[in-house]
Amino acid sequence: MTAAKTQQALGSIRAFLLDLDGVITPTAEVHERAWADLFTRVFEEHGAAPYTDADYFSYLDGKPRFVGVRDALASRGIALPEGMPGDDPEFDTVCGLGNRKNAIFARLLDEEGVTAYPGSLELVAEADALGIETAVVTSSRNGHRVLRAAGLEGRFETIVDGVRAAELELPGKPAPDTYLQGARELDLPASACAVVEDALSGVAAGAAGGFGLVIGVDRGAGADELLEAGADIVVADLADLVRPLREARSSAG
């Protein structure tokens, strides 16, 4: 997307639909550590090739938990029973492993806490000042817990998280359904909303949904990879959008 088209899109956007982990809070790093803890042991137990950081971005980042488990296991040719969503974390099932990872994540979050990215808060504040809606769309079932840990509980009226998606039987990213639900709950068409994502699967979801703008935030996935997945623009930090947004709105009147 050219600079002129980007400015035009920013000038007409009426809502930002923001992913949580890696976009608003650095909890993507906590998720990454929890997945590494889980699959380092699982792959070793099954005699598979060792877990690497690339596995996180290729198979796990941004996806619903059980989908990520299936994809990571498949990458090593490991077949396990599906199990049930309520499986004990010690069960060697897809659901059991997913719940084990969630227990690791919760422990790390409780021990270390989380602080939101200052640049992300700056963009949200600017959006508020300009009358632009903001909503959270995350695959995580821990969305409310993370927002509470970051001191942002009650900051976003519209939250579509993994729990809400399950209630509505919405497929997760890279399908666009959760983002489309966020737009519906704001009573806006997708074309009036910008998707903000750091994960390749999330960017792909935005690109598939007919949104007005798909913004990639490069927290490690790679700018070229985010663009290839469907991002219109890529920034290193959301603070980079504050001035362009203000200028675009001013130009748009």
Q: Are residues 178 and 192 in the same domain?
A: yes
Q: Does 3 have pLDDT greater than 90? A: no
Query: What CATH number is given to the structural domain containing 67?
Result: 1.10.150
Going by C-alpha positions, the residue among 237, 167, 217, 239 that lies closest to residue 61 is 217
Q: Give the pLDDT confidence of 128-179 residue by residue, as tens digits.
A: 999 999 999 999 888 998 999 899 989 999 999 999 999 999 999 999 999 9
Going by C-alpha positions, the residue among 194, 199, 98 that lies closest to residue 141 is 98
Tokens 């703008």 sit at which residue? 213
- Rounded Cα distance between 158 and 190, Å, is 15
Last residue of a domain, one of 58, 93, 112: 112
Domain that holds residue 221: 3-26+114-252
Q: Are residues 106 and 157 in the same domain?
A: no
What are phi and psi for residue 246, nearest 5 degrees?
A: -60, -45
Confidence at 253, pLDDT banded by 50, 70, 90: low
Beta carbons of 147 and 116 less than 8 angstroms apart:
no
Q: Are residues 17 and 37 in the same domain?
A: no
DSSP three-state, residue 134? strand
Angstrom distances, CA of residue 75 to CA of 33, 68, 201: 19, 11, 16
Q: Give the pLDDT confidence of 36-95 residue by residue, as tens digits.
A: 999 999 999 999 999 999 999 899 988 889 999 999 999 999 999 999 999 999 999 999
Q: What is the mean pLDDT of the chain?
A: 94
Q: Does 122 have pLDDT greater than 80? A: yes
- Rounded Cα distance between 248 and 98, Å, is 43
Q: Give the pLDDT confidence of 18-29 residue by residue, as tens digits.
A: 999 999 999 888
| Number of compact structural domains in the chain | 2
Residue 4: per-residue pLDDT: 75
Last residue of a domain, one of 92, 112, 132: 112
Residue 252: per-residue pLDDT: 75
Q: 73: which residues sit within 8 A by CB, 6+ positions away?
A: 42, 79, 80, 94, 97
Query: What CATH number is given to the structural domain containing 181?
Result: 3.40.50.1000
Annotated active-site positions, please? 19, 21
Provide the whole-model pTM: 0.82
Last residue of a domain, one of 51, 85, 112: 112
